[in-house]
């Protein structure tokens, strides 16, 4: 075993060589993976999505980068001995080809799994700049990506540590690899800041990457003396111009119609959101709890605490010494009977809103902590059943709210995705559920005692009247929880 046998090789074990070029490229790719995974998970996607994208994009990205390099460097050299084509450890990857191939794979993956392509690439593509910044140090190891001859004094000061590596063909060379590496990191920081503090628009990450990298690559290639050339023109500069033009036009909104999502799907909680069921809920808890604990005194705050949590959670809290499932069964029977008395009514302006949504082509579903059968009963007695074919209730899921399963099943049944979905609820657990699913959240203040609690948990919108949803739907931004 021999460490650092040459400047290009990190480790040699017999005939096996581990080169700095490969190590640094993989390190950059893994950094991009971890940064992107964190953001993708935060946006509500399943972690496996990033694993699938990473493996596929890496494979096709390396393949595309190699093919691009072979085609536009010295094709006759590789055709003379085709085995050289697969010897990427000796250097020779063109990032433009890699990015194009990786994006094509991502597009295929998103189409196949019904994800919004632009939402995912907005989160992932800017992070590729981190990988590129690391990969340029692989070029340093191979003495690639350099510019014109410079005096040795050029490396005085902070650049002194790379001086020896820039002595190429008997002259010191301008370290274009280092300049590009620094500009990549700067671009990554600027794009992230713009995405967080600039206008919230689909494509900010995607077009920001194209614009930034297109400009810096054009600049870098102007000084490089080892560029790929076709027809007397530097291919990277031609591609850089194209990337910059597309990126800047995209940031200005020129291509919005091409990737704008359909109308968002709306998924509703039921109790306290569409139906005013407070009286029925309170009366049902009263009947069950006082049947078993006649001396129990419930305050207004106690009654409000019944809104949102599952029945099991509430009964475990107030009647821990009794069999929870028995109490739940008694509650459901009492609640079902109350539905027949007319005590359950639609929330103010809900019938008008649902009619407007249906007339304007919006998809709708119910995602509730109640059993689906009870949901249907409530909708039927209030005359709202005509608006909902898809109802996901407590009996349809394994994990209840605030886990995201209820919302995920609803938007999957609608044939849409988390990147174009709104969830409307009235409790903190509804907002947390929306956040976990990555969907845009609207919280209705159906009980003034919960206003501060709802405000603190930060839904995307806090409303006092369901009629406000019509104006919210006119807004121009992504329909995801993080709105990025």
pLDDT greater than 90 at residue 96? no
pLDDT at 90: 66
Q: Is pLDDT of 15 > 80?
A: no
DSSP state of 152: G
Fold of 278-339: DNA polymerase; domain 1 (1.10.150)
In the chain, domain spans: 2-257, 265-274+344-472, 278-339
Residue 231 has what pLDDT?
67
pLDDT class of 260 with cuts at 50, 70, 90: low
The interaxial angle of helices 95-113 and 128-141, nearest 10 deg, is 150
pTM score, whole prediction: 0.72
- In three-state form (DSSP H/G/I as H, E/B as E, the rest C), the secondary structure along 361-397 is CCCEEEECCCCHHHHHHHHHHCCCHHHCCCEECHHHC
Please report which confidence band the pLDDT of residue 428 belongs to, taking 50, 70 and 90 as the band edges. Answer: very high
Instruction: Give φ, ψ of 149 to 5 degrees.
Output: -65, 140
Q: Pull the structure tokens for residue 325.
A: 């499932």
Q: What is the mean pLDDT of the segment spanning 450-477?
A: 93
Task: Please list the residues that pair with 234 across neighbouring strands.
Answer: 229
Q: Name every residue whose Cβ is closer than 8 Å to that of residue 125 and which is 6 or more positions away in sequence.
A: 99, 103, 205, 206, 209
Q: How many residues does the chain have?
A: 484
Instruction: Tell me whether the omega of the peptide bond preceding residue 402 falls within 30 degrees of 0, making it cis.
Output: yes
Q: Within 224-310, where are the H helices?
A: 235-251, 256-259, 278-292, 300-305
For the residues 285-301, what does the mean pLDDT come to? 88
Given this model, what pLDDT does residue 462 score?
A: 97
Backbone φ, ψ for residue 461 (5° rounding)? -140, 140
Radius of gyration of the chain (CA): 29
Is there a shared CATH topology between the 265-274+344-472 domain and the 278-339 domain? Answer: no
Name which of 17-26, 179-188, 361-370, 402-411 the model is least confident about.
Answer: 17-26
Q: Which of these is catalytic: 48, 122, 269, 456? A: 269
Q: What is the rounded average pLDDT of the residues 209-219?
A: 95
Per the prediction, the chain carries an average pLDDT of 89
Q: Quick check: 193 pLDDT over 80?
A: yes
pLDDT of residue 92: 74
Task: Write the burial class of residue 437 (CB in 10 Å: 0-12 exposed, 13-18 middle, 19+ buried).
Answer: buried
Q: Which fold has domain 265-274+344-472?
A: Rossmann fold (3.40.50)
Task: Assess whether pLDDT exceeds 90 at residue 277.
Answer: no
pLDDT bucket at 306, cuts 50 / 70 / 90: confident
Cα(61)–Cα(53) distance, integer angstroms:
11
Q: What is the rounded distance in angstroms from the CA atom of residue 282 to the CA atom of residue 295? A: 17
Question: Using an 8 Å Cβ cutoff, are 78 and 70 in contact?
Answer: yes
Q: With pLDDT > 90 as the criterion, what percentage of the chain qualifies?
A: 50
**247-263 mean pLDDT:** 82
Q: Cα separation of 442 and 461, whole Å?
A: 5
CA distance 204 to 119: 10
Q: Determine what percent of the chain is predicted with pLDDT higher than 70.
A: 97
Give the model confidence (pLDDT) of 29-61 as tens digits: 999 999 999 988 888 777 788 999 999 999 998
Q: Which of 246-260, 267-281, 375-389, 461-475 has the least mean pLDDT?
A: 246-260
- pLDDT score for 419: 80
* DSSP type of residue 480: B
Helices 47-72, 20-42: inter-axial angle, 10-degree rounding: 140
Q: What is the DSSP letter of 465?
A: S
- Sheet (strand 149-150) strand order: 149-150, 171-173, 167-168
Round to whole Å and give the CA distance between 33 and 162. Answer: 28
- Compute CA distances 383 → 274, 349, 350, 467, whole Å: 12, 13, 11, 18
**In the prediction, which pLDDT does 423 show?**
97
What pLDDT shows up at residue 10? 76
pLDDT tens track for 124-139:
999 999 999 999 998 8
Q: What is the pLDDT of residue 215?
A: 95
User: Quick one: pLDDT at residue 131?
Assistant: 93
pLDDT of 89 strictly over 70: no
CA distances from 330 to 317, 325, 326 (A): 17, 9, 6
Q: Higher pLDDT residue, 3 or 20? A: 20
The answer to whether residues 432 and 402 touch, using CB atoms and an 8 Å cutoff, is yes
Number of C-alpha atoms within 13 angstroms, CB side, residue 144? 17
Question: For residue 242, what pLDDT is reported?
Answer: 93
Among 16-20, 163-167, 181-185, 231-235, name the one with the lowest average pLDDT: 231-235
- CA pair distance 15, 314, nearest whole angstrom: 67
Looking at residue 4, what is its pLDDT? 66
Q: Which phi and psi (to 5°) does residue 271 adopt?
A: -65, 125
Give the DSSP H/E element, type plus range, for residue 424: strand 421-425
Query: Is 456 considered catalytic here?
Result: no
Given a cut of 80, whether residue 74 has pLDDT beyond it is no
Rounded CA separation 98/131 (Å): 12
Instruction: Kindly tell me if the per-residue pLDDT of 233 is higher than 80.
Output: no
Contact 344, 275 (CB under 8 A): yes
Considering only residues 425 and 20, tell me which one the structure prediction assigns the higher pLDDT. Answer: 425
Task: Look at residue 253 and tell me whether its pLDDT is greater than 90.
Answer: no
User: What pLDDT is recorded for position 85?
Assistant: 80
Q: How far apart are CA 362 and CA 157, in angstroms?
A: 63
Range ranked top by mean pLDDT from 8-17, 125-134, 307-316, 408-417 = 125-134
């Amino acid at each position: 075993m021999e460490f650092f046998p040459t400047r290009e090789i990190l480790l040699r074990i017999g005939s096996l060589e581990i080169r700095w070029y490969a190590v640094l490229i993989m390190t950059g790719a893994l950094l991009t993976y971890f940064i992107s995974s964190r953001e993708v998970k935060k946006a509500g996607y399943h972690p496996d999505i990033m694993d699938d994208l990473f493996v596929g994009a890496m494979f096709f990205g390396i393949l595309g980068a190699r093919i691009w390099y072979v085609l536009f460097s010295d094709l006759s050299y590789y055709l003379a001995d085709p085995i050289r084509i697969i010897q990427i450890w000796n250097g020779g990857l063109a990032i433009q080809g890699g990015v194009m191939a990786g994006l094509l794979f991502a597009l295929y993956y998103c189409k196949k799994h019904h994800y919004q392509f632009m939402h995912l690439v907005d989160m992932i593509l800017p992070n590729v700049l981190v990988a590129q910044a690391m990969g340029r140090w692989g070029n340093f190891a191979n003495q690639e990506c350099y510019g014109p001859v410079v005096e040795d004094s050029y490396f005085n000061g902070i650049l002194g540590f790379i001086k020896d590596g820039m002595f190429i063909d008997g002259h010191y060379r301008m370290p274009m690899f280092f300049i590009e590496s620094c500009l990549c990191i700067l671009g990554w920081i600027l794009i992230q800041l713009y995405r967080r503090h600039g206008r919230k628009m689909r494509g900010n990450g995607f077009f920001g990457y194209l614009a930034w990298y297109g400009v810096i690559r054009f600049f870098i290639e102007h000084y490089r003396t080892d560029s790929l050339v076709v027809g007397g023109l530097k291919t990277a500069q031609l591609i850089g111009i194209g990337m910059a033009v597309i990126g800047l036009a995209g940031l200005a909104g020129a291509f919005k119609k091409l990737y704008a999502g359909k109308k968002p799907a709306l998924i509703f909680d039921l109790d306290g959101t569409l139906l005013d069921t407070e009286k029925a809920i309170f009366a049902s808890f009263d009947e069950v709890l006082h049947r078993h604990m006649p001396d129990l005194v419930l305050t207004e705050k106690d009654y409000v605490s019944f809104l949102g949590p599952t029945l099991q959670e509430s009964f475990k809290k107030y009647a821990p010494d009794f069999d929870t499932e028995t109490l739940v069964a008694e509650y459901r029977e009492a609640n079902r009977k109350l539905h027949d008395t007319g005590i359950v009514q639609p929330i103010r302006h809900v019938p008008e809103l649902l009619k407007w949504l249906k007339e304007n082509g919006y998809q709708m579903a119910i995602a509730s902590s109640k059993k689906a059968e009870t949901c249907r009963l409530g909708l039927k007695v209030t005359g709202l059943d005509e608006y909902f074919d898809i109802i996901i209730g407590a009996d349809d899921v394994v994990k209840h709210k605030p886990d995201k399963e209820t919302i995920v099943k609803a938007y999957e049944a609608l044939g849409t995705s988390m990147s174009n979905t709104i969830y409307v609820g009235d409790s903190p657990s509804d907002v947390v559920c929306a956040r976990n699913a990555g969907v845009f959240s609207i919280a209705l203040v159906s009980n003034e005692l919960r206003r501060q609690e709802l405000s603190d948990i930060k839904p995307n919108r806090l409303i006092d009247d369901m009629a406000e949803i019509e104006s919210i739907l006119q807004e121009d931004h992504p329909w995801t929880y993080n709105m990025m």
